[in-house]
Copies of this chain bind each other. A is one copy, B any other.
Amino acid sequence: MTRSWLDPHDGGGPGPGQTPVRTGISLNGQASATGSPLGLHRVLEPVGVLPQAAWRLDPKPQIWPDEVRVAVTRLNLDAASFRQLREAHDGNPDKIRASVLEIVRTRGKMQNPVTGSGGMLTGTVDEVGPESPLGLAPGDKIATLVSLSLTPLVITDSLASWDGKSEQVPCAGHAILFGRSIAAKLPDDLPAGLALAVMDVCGAPALTHRVVAKCQSPEPVVAIIGAAGKSGSLSAAAARQAGAARVIGVVPHEAEARLLREAAAPGAGPGQQTQAGPAATGRPGVVDAIVIADARNPVAVSRAIDSAGGPADVTVVCVDVPGCEGGAILATAQGGTVIFFSMATSFTAAALGAEGVASDVTMLVGNGYVPGHAELALDLIRAQPAVRALFQRRLDEHSSGIQGE
């Protein structure tokens, strides 16, 4: 039987000055010396919950033997989180900066108290504990692939370099990686800002790929709601690679439709649409058809997808606003699958929404972790110039001038 997460790993007894970690049923006899691989020893409030669920973490820089400390260079806030902050403060950069600083100061991590979401970070490995299983070394430039919502964090520069206008947050500080964590070294062949933006959303294309590849339909139709965004465009690319016969991209307005069209392979002009062809090569652009509809309007969305070749066998929701569950469900064929990646997804709206329209669809909570997800996503970027162009354009729009650290 598969080895449990909770199997103890090696280590000595409690060290001097270290408080034994009490978790009820003892996780392992040496939790206080080696650190729980899940980071339980950093949970201050309430005691006994996992770091992601905790209100407050201990972000002290001194590391446990299985931890890694990272000198942070950039945070990439989750889209839903940044949207919430921007809307709550009417886009005022000073207030947004102050809000982020206050969250990190009081919680010891960057977890938006409204959305519950976090984001990712890049930085340079500073110190590696002797028992860290992550295979990192001081000096490695990395991106974390576990959420900021569970990562102990201290910001030391008051976010002075952040303009408060995008989710990319240059900063100085430190973060802690637990034993059971995931980090990827930044690739040498791609700019750091691009690699981070890709890794931030790499779970979506990886899971989309897996679902589409397993799809029972011989010619799967895949709808991507939010196809011009970072996770949406990568998921569209993944769907094609996995064998989708037709990929329909849903965007909220003409500006995003234009982004998608203009990201087509070099030589293709704006407005050029092509028919779906065999999988992978020979299909320019990011999607096979673009439709414009408000994702929060279920009737409009499903009608739009129908008109472009739907209903879909697989629908992927990559938008960061609430209220998109109904449309995704209505747009999906009986027996199909809806994958929710948006952190604005409401569980009850999805569950009740499907039941309410007697829709027999499989609904997945988009798991941000699929083994090999970073590699898959980076390879898609390398292989698909249209997706890379789209990503780069989004980064350029929000650029604060700090690239390639």
Could you say which of B51, B53, B360, B365 contacts A351, with CB atoms under 8 Å apart?
Answer: B365
CB within 8 Å of B: which A330-363 residues = 330, 333-335, 340-341, 343, 345-363
Chain A at the B interface: SS class: loop
Say whether, besides A117-B352, A333-B2, A369-B354, A297 and B24 are in contact (CB < 8 Å). yes
Q: How far is the CA of A367 from the CA of B350 in the complex (A)?
A: 8
Q: Is the pair A116, B349 in contact by a Cβ cutoff of 8 Å?
A: yes
For A298, the closest partner residue in chain B by CB is B50
> CB-CB < 8 A to A341: which residues of B?
351
> CB-CB < 8 A to A1: which residues of B?
221, 310-311, 333
Q: Is the pair A303, B6 in contact by a Cβ cutoff of 8 Å?
A: yes
Could you say which of B180, B298, B310, B352 contacts A368, with CB atoms under 8 Å apart?
Answer: B352
Q: How far is the CA of A392 from the CA of B160 in the complex (A)?
A: 64
Within the oligomer, what is the number of copies of this chain?
2
Q: How far is the CA of A296 from the CA of B47 in the complex (A)?
A: 12
Q: Is the pair B297, A6 in contact by a Cβ cutoff of 8 Å?
A: no
Q: How far is the CA of A25 from the CA of B49 in the complex (A)?
A: 48
> CB-CB < 8 A to A23: which residues of B?
299-300
Could you say which of B149, B335, B345, B349 contacts A52, with CB atoms under 8 Å apart?
Answer: B349
For A366, the closest partner residue in chain B by CB is B351
CB within 8 Å of B: which A288-336 residues = 296-300, 302-304, 306, 310-311, 323, 326, 330, 333-335
Say whether, besides A118-B352, A147-B352, A306-B6, A347 and B365 are in contact (CB < 8 Å). yes
Could you say which of B40, B117, B364, B370 contacts A365, with CB atoms under 8 Å apart?
Answer: B364
Q: Is the pair A27, B343 in contact by a Cβ cutoff of 8 Å?
A: no
The answer, yes or no, to whether A48 is at the interface (CB within 8 Å) is: yes
> CB-CB < 8 A to A362: which residues of B?
364, 367
Q: How far is the CA of A310 from the CA of B1 in the complex (A)?
A: 8
Q: Is the pair B5, A302 in contact by a Cβ cutoff of 8 Å?
A: yes
Could you say which of B52, B303, B334, B351 contacts A25, with CB atoms under 8 Å apart?
Answer: B303
> CB-CB < 8 A to A164: which residues of B?
none
The answer, yes or no, to whether A171 is at the interface (CB within 8 Å) is: no
Q: Is the pair A357, B297 in contact by a Cβ cutoff of 8 Å?
A: no
> CB-CB < 8 A to A304: which residues of B?
25
For A39, the closest partner residue in chain B by CB is B356
Contacts beyond the supplied A6-B299, A24-B297: 13 A-B pairs with Cβ under 8 Å:
A1-B221, A2-B333, A40-B299, A48-B300, A49-B326, A117-B348, A146-B355, A343-B348, A345-B347, A347-B365, A350-B365, A351-B366, A355-B369
User: Could you give 11 example pairs across A and B, Cβ below 8 Å?
Assistant: A4-B306, A6-B303, A23-B300, A48-B300, A51-B356, A52-B349, A52-B356, A150-B356, A203-B355, A351-B368, A354-B365
